[in-house]
Amino acid sequence: MNQETQTQDVLIEHINRVIDEDINPYLAMHGGSCELIEVEDYRVTLRLFGGCSGCPSSHITLFNGIVPILKEKIPEITEVSLG
């Protein structure tokens, strides 16, 4: 396993931990949750579930709730989008 693959694996593990410990408890208050779909060059793609899936306010939740949490915990992340 090369250095880049190891770095990517550590990043994915860290993102999943932040999702489990910080983001999903926040989303659960609204009946929702999210999961990591992809990480590419520090760009993160997430999928929303439950009450957050298809909600008209999902982009507000993403930019005012999820993005600040991820960027605070993992400053290397450059972009977060929904997939």
How many structural domains comprise the chain? 1
Predicted confidence at residue 27, as pLDDT, reads: 94
Let me know: does 11 contact 44? Beta carbons within 8 Å: no
23 exposed, middle or buried (CB, 10 Å; 0-12, 13-18, 19+)?
buried
43-62 pLDDT tens trace: 999 999 998 888 888 888 99
Single pTM value for the model:
0.90
Residue 3 has pLDDT above 80, yes or no: no
Predicted confidence at residue 51, as pLDDT, reads: 86
Distance in angstroms (rounded) separating the CA atoms of residues 57 and 37: 20
Domain that holds residue 62: 3-82
CATH of the domain at 76: 3.30.300.130
Mean residue pLDDT across the chain: 92
